[in-house]
């Protein structure tokens, strides 16, 4: 089990391929196809952040927690909490709309978060780190962003949504983000031994 957890980001590459095949070969509905493609790129996004080139954990600690701590043993973050947070977020934000297609605001929330990924990776992380690249930027720009733009400019029909559904959609992905990456469960998982990150995952190549 520990071997699987400590390689969750490598396994994500295979899950990305399976998701892409489902999107291209098994789905006819355009909204479902866009969600499956988003899932595929999100799995690749995990690999870019934690596998190759890696380095998102240190950047996250530095930018999002405000700590310039290079001793990863002092972080309350490990492969177990990272797998829980990222895979859990994927399931709740991107897979749940596939299970409940009638709840339109779930799809809205997923596509809005994909656009938020653009803001975080293209602007926030680069400005805070004073760099032109951060782990996750490539897959955010080439996958998640184009899919969300296609949804909003080609598929999306604003007349189907009331104003409060926009508010609930934002509140939903904020709540899920807190549960997956800021809740006591996340921090407790990050303290469990046996799931330590290697240097490439923590700091990048």
Six token digits for residue 183:
């809740």
Q: Has this prediction a pTM greater than 0.85?
A: yes
Q: Say if residues 122 and 141 touch (Cβ distance below 8 Å).
A: yes
Six token digits for residue 76:
């309350």
Q: Report residue 66's pLDDT band, with 50, 70 and 90 as the boundaries.
A: confident
Whether residue 64 has pLDDT greater than 90: no
Domain parsing of the chain, residue ranges: 2-203
**DSSP code string of 92-124:** IIIIHHHH-TT-HHHHHHHHHHHHHHHIIIIII
pLDDT of res. 68: 87
Backbone CA torsion sign across 73, 76, 77, 79: positive
Nearest to 10 by CA among 57, 39, 37, 49: 49
Whether residue 180 has pLDDT greater than 90: yes
Six token digits for residue 49:
């952040």
What is the mean pLDDT of the segment spanning 24-52?
97
**pLDDT greater at residue 65 or residue 90:** 90
Q: Say if residues 201 and 54 touch (Cβ distance below 8 Å).
A: yes
3-class SS of residue 85: helix
Six token digits for residue 1:
């089990």
pLDDT of res. 67: 84
CA distance 48 to 62: 18
Reported as a single tens digit per residue, the pLDDT across 98-110 is 999 999 999 999 9
Reported as a single tens digit per residue, the pLDDT across 125-144 is 999 999 999 999 999 999 99
Place of tokens 């994927």: 90
Place of tokens 């032109």: 132
What percentage of residues in the chain have a pLDDT greater than 90? 94
């Amino acid at each position: 089990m520990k071997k699987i957890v400590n390689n969750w980001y490598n396994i994500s590459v295979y899950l990305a391929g399976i998701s892409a095949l489902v999107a291209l070969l098994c789905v006819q509905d355009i909204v479902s196809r866009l969600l499956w493609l988003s899932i595929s790129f999100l799995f690749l996004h995990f690999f870019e952040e934690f596998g190759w080139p890696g380095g998102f954990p240190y950047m996250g600690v530095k930018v999002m927690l405000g700590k310039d701590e290079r001793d990863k043993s002092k972080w309350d973050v490990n492969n177990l909490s990272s797998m829980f947070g990222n895979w859990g977020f994927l399931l709740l934000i991107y897979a749940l709309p596939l299970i409940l297609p009638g709840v339109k605001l779930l799809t809205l929330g997923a596509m809005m978060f994909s656009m938020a990924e653009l803001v975080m990776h293209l602007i926030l992380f680069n400005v805070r780190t004073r760099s032109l690249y951060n782990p996750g930027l490539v897959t955010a720009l080439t996958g998640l962003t184009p899919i969300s733009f296609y949804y909003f400019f080609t598929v999306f029909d604003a007349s189907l949504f009331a104003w409060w559904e926009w508010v609930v959609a934002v509140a939903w992905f904020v709540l899920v983000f807190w549960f997956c990456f800021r809740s006591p469960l996340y921090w407790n998982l990050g303290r469990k031994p046996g799931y330590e990150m290697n240097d490439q995952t923590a700091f990048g190549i």
